[in-house]
Amino acid sequence: MIRFILLVIMLFFGYVSKPLWEEPVQQLDPSSIWASVHDTVDQFKEDPTINYVLDTLTQQLHSLLEPSDHPQLESSDTFIQAPELVDPRDRLFSIHNIELGNSRAEVEQIIGGSPKRSTINEYDISWDAYHENYQNFIMVAYDEEDIVRGLYTNQDLISSSTEISLGSPIQLVQRQLGTPETFIQYRLFNFRMNSNGEYDVFNLDNSYVTIFYDQHENNTVTAIKIIDEELEQKKNAIYSEPSQQLQEGFEYQLFDLTNASRRNHDLPLLTWDDHVRETARKHSLDMAENQYFSHTNLQGQSPFERMAEDNIEFMTAGENLAYGQISSIFAHEGLMNSLGHRENILKVDFLYLGVGVAFNNESQPYFTKKFFSIT
């Protein structure tokens, strides 16, 4: 019956609007269509036989052509409301209930405070570090409009619509997320990743998601970094242009990452030491300028001899070196997967830490970490 009525309506509508077909398309107007319909209807008003039919058809035309405030789909006798639009910021992963696309105001309302430190990163914007004495540690990168473009954590703050969380095995990650990327395409070059099984990178939700694994904890998820795809691909080179701000950024970021890992293992937090930072910087610069990589410098001095030369008193000390990683995050995760360096990071006796960074003529960073205690 409904189909028959619709067919009659279409034929009626086609007949009364026929004069309009003969006009140029650009002259068509919805109001002129209705005017033609009503003019035709008026011609038949005096005929009671078809009055009823015309009234019914007019009502049906109104119901079909006039817009509805609530679009619905019809299924049998049940009306199904059209689905609500999904928030475009809804993503596969969030950190501390924060996602790419959130505003700074939203982030700080969720966290309940301001960042403890803000330092320049490899994307020429800042990592803002939020934590409570290194508990609930998260780094957030904002663009110039205070919108979140990057996230990182190495603590149990990962939420996902998948089953992936901190401590998940690598097999689960790859089963849930598929084949990881083997290279990232930038505007001027392609960067081939050689992770040695320490991390996987996935292109998801218009972002690059890097999942880091702890090789000393059965290759389980130890950290996650999420970077907006557009921000990542703004880079003109894999290594960022060196600057004093970037140097200090890498130094303080590596310090914060170290303390966040110590918090994970219920160890005493380290105190920053400016004096030993200068010793570390000198060794990084020496290696960068003279193109070597070793705990012993070209004069044959050990890490402990260099500290003594700079009048640093210590009872125990240790040194970690990293070279060529694109950021402090990759340097830290690599050091945690190197057993001797990991032992320094997690050594209960150490109380102080200074980090020194320098860049060679290819913009590659050298990282030197100096740990010590005086008792």
The SS3 of residue 74 is strand
Specify if 57 maps to a domain: no
Assess if residue 22 is contained within a domain.
no
348 in the same domain as 295: yes
pLDDT tens-place string over residues 176-187: 999 999 988 887
Domain end point (choices 234, 252, 284)? 234
Question: Which residue type sits at 123?
Answer: Y
Residue that terminates a domain, selected from 192, 208, 234: 234
Closest CA to 339 of 256, 169, 211, 216: 216
pLDDT tens figures, 97-156: 999 999 999 999 999 999 999 999 999 999 999 999 999 999 999 999 999 999 999 999
Q: 230 and 343 share a domain? A: no
- The DSSP code sequence of 31-46 is HHHHHHHHHHHHHTTT
Residue 298 and residue 306 in contact, taking contact as beta carbons nearer than 8 Å? no
Q: What kind and span of H or E run contains 48?
A: helix 48-65
Which pLDDT does position 144 carry in this prediction? 96
Token pair in block for residue 39: 């003019």
163 shares its domain with 191: yes
User: Is 163 contained in some domain?
Assistant: yes
Contact 226, 93 (CB under 8 A): yes
CA distance 46 to 233: 73
Q: Are residues 170 and 300 in the same domain?
A: no
**Packing angle between helix 48-65 and helix 30-43, nearest 10 degrees?**
170
Question: What's the pLDDT at 191?
Answer: 85
- Segments forming the whole domain that contains residue 103: 93-234
Is residue 34 a part of any domain in this protein? no
The strand pair at 207-214 and 316-323 is best described as unpaired
DSSP 114-141: --SEEEE-TTSSEEEEEEETTEEEEEEE
CB 139 within 8 A of CB 152: yes
Indicate the pairing of strand 199-204 with strand 207-214: antiparallel
* Inside any domain, residue 21: no
> Which pLDDT belongs to residue 90?
67
Q: Which of 178, 167, 229 is CA-nearest to residue 200?
A: 178
Give every CB contact of residue 354 below 8 A, 6+ residues apart in sequence.
272, 273, 274, 275, 276, 277, 278, 279, 280, 369, 370
Q: Beta 352-359 vs 365-373: how paired, if at all?
A: antiparallel
CA distances to 6, 62, 74, 86, 306 from 79, in Å: 19, 20, 5, 21, 79
> Domain ends where: 209, 234, 259?
234
Low-confidence ranges of the chain (pLDDT < 50): 2-8, 10-89
Within a domain: residue 24? no
Domain count, the chain: 2
Contact between residue 37 and residue 13 where contact means Cβ atoms under 8 Å apart:
yes
Same domain as 268, residue 343: yes
Predicted local distance difference test score (pLDDT) of residue 226: 98
CATH number at residue 289: 3.40.33.10
44 located within any domain? no
Amino acid at 127: W
pTM of the model: 0.76
